[in-house]
Amino acid sequence: MEKNTSRKDLSARVEELRRQYGSELVILAHHYQSDGIVQHVDFSGDSLELARRIPEISARHIVFCGVFFMAESACLLARQGQKVYLPDHSAGCRMANMARAKDVERILSFLADAGRKTVPLAYVNSSLAVKAVVGKFGGAVCTSSNAVSMMEWAMQRADTVLFLPDQNLGQNTAKRLGLSEKQQFVIDIAGTTLDCPQSRDARLLLWPGFCPTHAVNMLPSHVENIRKKHPGCRILVHPECTPDVVDMVDGAGSTAFLIKEAEKAAQDGKEKKLCIGTEYHLVNRLAKRFSGTLDVLPLVKATCPNMEKVTLPKLLDTLEGIADGKNIVTVEENLKAPARETLVRMLDHCRQAKRPRP
Ligand code: SF4
């Protein structure tokens, strides 16, 4: 690719390649991707929507615009012979990197040896290797859309649930299920406090991980500022925000929930402003979409540096290199089955939970 190629040329070339590959190529993007990427994809969604979409895809090539663990999940759910590509393999998730498979395995083994019936529940924002450990210990994954339902699922199966890696999502979900603070315990990764009375009494053990975009960049002071500047404005945030932020606002929910609330507010026309606390590319896209009908304000302009690593030149580079397998994502064969099991358990449970009860 020429160094000085303009954005317009890059876009035109991406579209040309999409036309050439036709039904053999599908490009997916997470909602946190920039507009420059989203305009070229077949489907954008949150983690759950994207995971549900993969098994329905018949194209041979799936280009995933997101972070590494998402592409790994796509590999697990892809059909035999399908290939998954990620335009930048260094696009990791800082939260996912806070839980290493060997630490998770050590802690689950310790709990098992201590005779505690424990089910691990991993937020989908975790590495394939962590998912494989969770699968081996009978656990599942969840997304922010189904964390409440999946935590209930795990609670029904064990004395103790180990939720990882997002402490905030764990605590915010536990609150929605009515778990007291005494029933929760934040472990240390070294495992030195696992045997203390608070840990032994806890129904929910929480891994001390967090998403810097939501947990570090979105603060109570930002909520106070919005309240002062825009009195009466409803504020909604993502549950990766800290519980003190979630407690101050009018609601918290997954990316899909936040988008739906903005759509409803724009349609009703009763509210003039809505403030959303999540990744800025998404909030800005909603602001543009509803401009003139609803003012969508960011709680703060926080982006995810790893999501931003996927750029238009890298997407084009990936498409041009498909024939050579450039940027292809592969997963270790021995991790596939137990990791896949965690995704299948989640998707099965969600399907059953949706079915009307007799
Ligand atoms: S926004 Fe947070 S959770 Fe999402 S990919 Fe970035 S670091 Fe990970």
Q: Is the CB of 213 under 6 A from ligand 1?
A: yes
User: What is the number of other CB atoms lying within 10 angstroms of the CB of residue 242?
Assistant: 21
Q: Give yes or no: residues 86 and 127 share one domain.
A: no
Sign of CA dihedral 269, 271, 277, 280: positive
* 334-to-99, 128, 139, 341 alpha-carbon distances in Å: 20, 11, 17, 13
Instruction: Flag whether 199 is in a domain.
Output: yes
Query: What pLDDT is recorded for position 314?
Result: 98
306 in contact with ligand 1, CB cutoff 6 A: yes
What is the Å distance from ligand 1's center to 94 Cα?
6
Residues 205 and 347 in one domain: yes
Query: Which atom of ligand 1 lies closest to the CA of 166?
Result: 3
Q: Which residues 6+ apart lie within 8 Å of 12 measured at CB?
A: none
Q: How many CB atoms are located within 10 Å of the residue 284 CB?
A: 16
Per the CB < 8 A criterion, the answer to whether 47 and 238 are in contact is: no
* Residue 47, domain member (yes or no): yes
- Per-residue pLDDT of 250-280, as tens digits, reads 999 999 999 999 999 999 999 999 999 999 9
Best of 64, 93, 126, 207 for a ligand 1 pocket test (most atoms within 8 Å of beta carbon): 93
Provide the number of structural domains found in the chain.
Answer: 3
Q: Provide mean pLDDT across the span 289-303.
A: 97
Q: Does some domain include residue 1?
A: no
Q: Would you say residue 191 has pLDDT above 80? A: no
At residue 2, does pLDDT exceed 60? no
Question: What is the residue with the minimal CA distance to atom 1 of ligand 1?
Answer: 304
CB of 71 closer than 8 Å to CB of 103? no
Do 128 and 171 lie in one domain? The reply is: yes
CATH number at 288 reads 3.40.50.10800
Residues 183 and 322 both lie in one domain: no
Does the pLDDT value for residue 330 go beyond 60? Answer: yes
333: in domain? no
User: Closest ligand 1 atom, CA of 32?
Assistant: 1
Residue-wise pLDDT tens digits, 206-231: 999 999 999 999 999 999 999 999 99
Give yes or no for a contact between 183 and 142, defined as CB atoms under 8 angstroms apart: no
- 231 and 178 housed in the same domain: no
- 33 and 67 in a single domain? The answer is yes
pLDDT, residue 48, reads: 77
Instruction: Check residues 82 and 46 and name the one with the higher pLDDT.
Output: 82
352 against 301, higher pLDDT = 301
Find the 326 Cα to ligand 1 centroid distance in Å: 24
- The per-residue pLDDT for range 96-151, each reduced to its tens digit, is 999 999 999 999 999 999 999 999 999 999 999 999 999 999 999 999 989 999 99
Ligand 1 atom, smallest distance to 125 CA: 3
- 331 domain-assigned: no
Residue 237 lies in a domain: yes
pLDDT band at 4 (very low <50, low <70, confident <90, very high): low
Check residue 357 and give its pLDDT: 44
CA of 241 relative to ligand 1 center, distance in Å: 11
Same domain, 319 and 288: no
Domain match, 101 and 206 both: yes
**Domain around 276:** 218-298
CA-wise closest residue to 145 among 297, 358, 355, 349: 349
Based on the domain organization, do 232 and 266 belong to the same domain? yes
- Residues 157, 145 share a domain: yes
For atom 3 of ligand 1, the residue with the nearest CA is 211
Q: How far apart are CA 261 and CA 180, in angstroms?
A: 28
SS (H, E, C) the chain: CCCCCCHHHHHHHHHHHHHHHHHHEEEEEECCCCHHHHCCCCEEECHHHHHHHHHHCCCCEEEEECCHHHHHHHHHHCCCCCEEECCCCCCCCCCHHHCCHHHHHHHHHHHHHCCCCEEEEEECCCCHHHHHHHHHCCCEEECCCCHHHHHHHHHCCCCEEEEECEHHHHHHHHHHCCCCHHHEEECCCCCCCCCCHHHHHCCEEECCECCHHHHHCCCHHHHHHHHHHCCCCEEEECCCCCHHHHHHCCEECCHHHHHHHHHHHHHHCCCCEEEEECCHHHHHHHHHHCCCCCEEEECCCCCCCCHHHCCHHHHHHHHHCHHHCCCEECCCHHHHHHHHHHHHHHHHHHHHHHCCCC
From residue 262, how far is each of 43, 267, 276, 299 by CA, in Å?
19, 9, 9, 14
* C-alpha 213 to ligand 1 mean position (Å): 7
List the residue whose alpha carbon is closest to atom 8 of ligand 1. 93
What would the two tokens of residue 117 be?
């019936």
Mean pLDDT of the 87-99 span: 97
Q: In whole numbers, what is the pLDDT of the chain averaged over residues?
A: 94
Q: What residues form DSSP beta bridges with 169?
A: none
| 198-207 pLDDT, tens digit each | 988 999 999 9
Does residue 85 fall inside a structural domain?
yes
Q: What is the pTM of this model?
A: 0.93
pLDDT at 358: 41
Choice from 304, 308, 310 to test ligand 1 binding pocket (greatest atom count within 8 A of CB): 304
Residue 38 lies in a domain: yes
Which of 88, 142, 168, 211 best tests ligand 1's pocket when mutated (most atoms within 8 Å of CB)? 211
Between 42-51, 107-116, 178-187, 334-343, the lowest mean confidence (pLDDT) is in 42-51
Per the document, the length of the chain is 358
- One domain for residues 124 and 193: yes
Tens digit of pLDDT for each residue in 16-59? Answer: 999 999 999 999 999 999 999 999 999 999 887 888 899 899 99
113 and 185 belong to one structural domain:
yes
Identify the pLDDT of residue 1: 57
Which residue did the predictor score with more confidence, 83 or 192? 83
pLDDT band at residue 347 using 50, 70 and 90 as cut-offs: confident
pLDDT band at 353 (very low <50, low <70, confident <90, very high): confident
Give 155 or 48, the one with higher predicted confidence: 155
Counting from 1 in the atom list of ligand 1, the atom nearest the Cα of 66 is 5
Classify strands 140-142 and 251-252 as parallel, antiparallel or unpaired.
unpaired
Residue 334 has pLDDT above 60, yes or no: yes
